[in-house]
Each structure stands twice: as structure tokens, then as C-alpha cells.
Amino acid sequence: MSRIKDSPEFQRGAPVTIIVDGAPLPAFVGETIAGALLASGRRAWQHTRHGQPRGMFCGIGVCFDCLVTVNGASKVRACLTPVAEGMIVQTQETTP
């Protein structure tokens, strides 16, 4: 739950801020939403119909555990979706 401290030659993309449930979250271009959430220490961001917390499971877009709403579009896979400046992410309660 952290960004790896690589050698100084290594550089992340430009710093950006995404808005997760109304709160700013710093991230770097090139990261995915799931990456940024995990790096910030957050393990779960989806809740199932039965109220169970879920986060990243497969990491490659096949399990659909990591769904979030991005700029109004629902059911977006956080593990595949790169962050962008000002992106509005709502962690998702699955409906109904």
C-alpha cells in the first residue's frame, strides 16, 4: 500500500489530483484508479449488494470486483482505468 521508492532516475508521470467521493486524492499520470487508491492505503472501495467490501482482486480486468463510477459512467474497472487530472470517482454501491 505504497509507491515503491525506486532509484532517483525513476520518475512517475506528472502529479495530478483526482476526486474520490468528494475528497482530493493525489496520483501520478500513468497510474490506474486502483493503483492510486491502493497507494493511498485504501483496500476496499466497492460494496456488494450484501454490503461486503471489495477492492482489487485480479488486477487485470477479468473479475469486476473493483468497479467505480468515473465522471458519471458507472461500472468502470478501477484496475484498468488510468487517472487524469480532475477525474471524479465515486466508489460504488452496487444496485439494487
User: What string marks each residue from 58 to 87 as x (binds ligand FES by CB under 6 A) or -?
Assistant: xx-xxxxxx----------x-x--------
User: Which residues from 22-81 bind other proteins, rule CB under 8 A?
Assistant: 28-32, 34-35, 38-39, 43-44, 48-50, 52-65, 67, 72-75, 79-80
Residue 27 φ then ψ, to 5°: -155, 175
CA distances from residue 87 to 58, 62, 75, 81, 93 in whole angstroms, order as listed: 23, 23, 15, 11, 19
Residues counted in the chain: 96
Shortest distance, position 61 Cβ to ligand FES, whole Å: 5
